[in-house]
Amino acid sequence: MVNNKIQIIRDNGMKAEAQAPIIVSASRSTDIPAFYSDWFLYRLKRGYSAWTNPFNGVRSFVSYERTRLIVFWSKNPRHLLDKDGCLDYLQSKGINCYVQFTLNDYVREGLERGVPSVDNRIETFKNLVDRLGFGHVIWRFDPLILTDKIGIDDLIYKIEYIGNKLKGYTEKLVFSYADIKNYKRVQSNLIKNNIHYREFTESDMNEFAFKLAKLNKDWGYVLATCGEEIDISKYGIQHNKCVDDDLMIKYFHHDAVLMNHLGVDIRSAGLFSDEMMVIKKKNNKDKGQRLFCGCVVSKDIGEYNTCPHLCEYCYANSSKETAVKNWEKHRINSICETITGE
């Protein structure tokens, strides 16, 4: 379980107690593949990293000794493909992974100035699928945001372009509606940077869902929302699990340790059948996440205020200045226990 503890030897030679998660999330809090892949690879080889709780400032340690699966989250994960990089190392150790790839298009509006062009990222997406396999890279258009320059039809147009390019490379599209009013720092940053946003109404959400479902008749993707309360299942859109035990069972059922952790029995459907019979013996939902988040339990190893993408709507940075300062500290001490170099 995620709370199992083991003893580690830190870089300074001192002993410490560390969590030893089976499933690691890297990371909801920052873009590790884009900016910290070398740090993460070093820490994987070293066997642990340190993590600071954003609510109480307490530092703890995470051991990778028992890790069987890593969920990567990124807007630009091309460094995962580097020779002798993270993917090569994970493969050599038999550790499973998949990628939550946020591939938006806010280029014209300048909301994501720190990411490469859309076509560049589409190419990275395809290269990752070629490397990891179909179904191991999930497309996210997240969040959907409405402004004085972006309407629902604009979002549909942007999604249509990317969706057409990714046919044959993904089986799912995950999205969420920007909920600015609940993130005061995001609200402040948007106002400060002269971004004239507006909140999604329920009518807006339904209109978008209807138009997306119409597009999907040509694609056949699984459509899912991330952490959204609204029920739009009438359009064929489900609630998502981003850290997803069903995906793990589908693609990594050969990993007995991972399946045992999930409480899953895999049995043959019959003497003359190649099909599997899956028996789930427990509920793995992470109760520490948002109410409508379907993710199973994992340990996130990233930290807020460390992502230099500097997207205008970012919820993970309290300010661009703080994120840049932390990035600069990391570059001075890039193999430190912590992602911030402290």
Tell me, what's the pLDDT at 273?
63
For the four alpha carbons of 178, 180, 183 and 189, in that order, the dihedral sign comes to: positive
Residue 273 in any domain: the answer is yes
- Quick check: is 342 in a domain? no
Residue 72: inside a domain = yes
> What average pLDDT score do residues 84-95 get?
97
Q: What is the pLDDT of residue 159?
A: 98
| Cα(253)–Cα(247) distance, integer angstroms | 9
In a domain, 222, yes or no: yes
Position 272 scores a pLDDT of: 66
Q: Is the residue at 340 inside a domain? A: no
Least trusted range by pLDDT, from 57-66, 273-282, 311-320, 327-336: 273-282
pLDDT value for 314: 92
Per cent of the chain over pLDDT 90 is 85
Q: pLDDT tens for residues 186-204?
A: 888 888 888 999 999 999 9
Residue 184 confidence class, pLDDT cut points 50, 70, 90:
confident
d(CA 237, CA 160): 17
324 is a domain residue = yes
Asked if 335 contacts 39 with a C-beta cutoff of 8 angstroms, the reply is yes
Angle at 60 between CA 56 and CA 65, to 5 degrees: 150
Indicate the number of domains in the chain: 1
Residue 111 lies in a domain: yes
pLDDT over threshold 60, residue 319: yes
Q: Domain span at residue 212? A: 5-332
Residue 271 confidence (pLDDT) above 70? no
Give me the pLDDT at residue 342, please.
86
What is the Cα–Cα distance from 93 to 284, expressed in whole angstroms?
25
Residue 338 lies in a domain: no
Amino acid 291: pLDDT: 84
The whole-number average pLDDT for the span 154-174 is 98
CA atoms within 13 A on the CB side of 307: 30
pTM assigned to the model: 0.95
